[in-house]
Amino acid sequence: MSSVPLIGYSDKLSVRQGEIISFKVSSTLNKPFGASLKRSISADPNPKGVGIIEKDASKYFKKTTYKSRKQNFNPGSYAISKKSNK
């Protein structure tokens, strides 16, 4: 596989009640994709650890389907600048 068909991120890692969080998704799939929200309690992938614990958060965001569209993704720290006209 030369690319990941579905990739996304949020503009914040966590929010307090009443704050807004945005999700950015790029999909090269040839069909719509579904999105749902879960509250992450633990993201420990260690088999001897607590494990991954998530709680349903559909009361804040109902499961929704979106049309796939490819969007540019620049992971890590980066900047995009325009050449000066000077």
Least Cα distance to 26 among 75, 80, 72 occurs for 72
What is residue 67's predicted lDDT score, i.e. its pLDDT? 94
CA 74 to chain centre: 14
Q: Which segments within 11-80 are labelled E, that is strand?
A: 23-27, 33-35, 38-43, 52-56, 64-66
pLDDT tens per residue, range 3-51: 778 888 888 888 888 999 888 899 999 999 999 989 889 999 888 999 9
pTM: 0.60
SS3 content of the chain, % helix, strand, coil (to 5): 0, 30, 70
